[in-house]
Copies of this chain bind each other. A is one copy, B any other.
Amino acid sequence: MTATATQVTEDIAHPKRDQIELGAVLHALSDPVRLRIVATLIADGEHTCGGFDVPVTKSTCTHHFKILREAGVIHQRPQGTARVNTLRRDDLEARFPGLLDKILQSA
């Protein structure tokens, strides 16, 4: 198909803090690929999607980033053709104090 309209790339939808649900967070972090992504963000602060050492293809990565974003675990902002991922540490800490640290310690 050909392009018909300019995509507004800075509007990546994220759930608000009070929309972040425990079940979705636990589900998001129960997958080894997503847990590795989150552990890398803890260590490095931020990464673009292509900057992770994960054993799956690009399209599967996109799938995993979508789940992490929709669960409210990560924040994504566009930077050229890339998307910069960061952990929503403050939001997660406010919602579930200490939980993320405990999960990462257990990993």
Instruction: Report which A residues bind B (CB closer than 8 A).
Output: 22-24, 26-27, 29-32, 35, 95-99, 102-103, 105-107
- Contact of A26 with B23 in the complex, beta carbons under 8 Å: no
Copies of this chain present:
2
Q: Whole-angstrom distance between the alpha carbons of A106 and B27 in the complex? A: 14
Q: Whole-angstrom distance between the alpha carbons of A81 and B7 in the complex? A: 62
Q: Which residues of B contact A30 (CB under 8 A)?
A: 23-24, 26-27, 30
Q: Is the interface of A mostly helix, strand, loop or mixed?
A: helix
Q: Whole-angstrom distance between the alpha carbons of A105 and B26 in the complex? A: 14
- Contact of B105 with A102 in the complex, beta carbons under 8 Å: no
- Contact of A22 with B98 in the complex, beta carbons under 8 Å: no
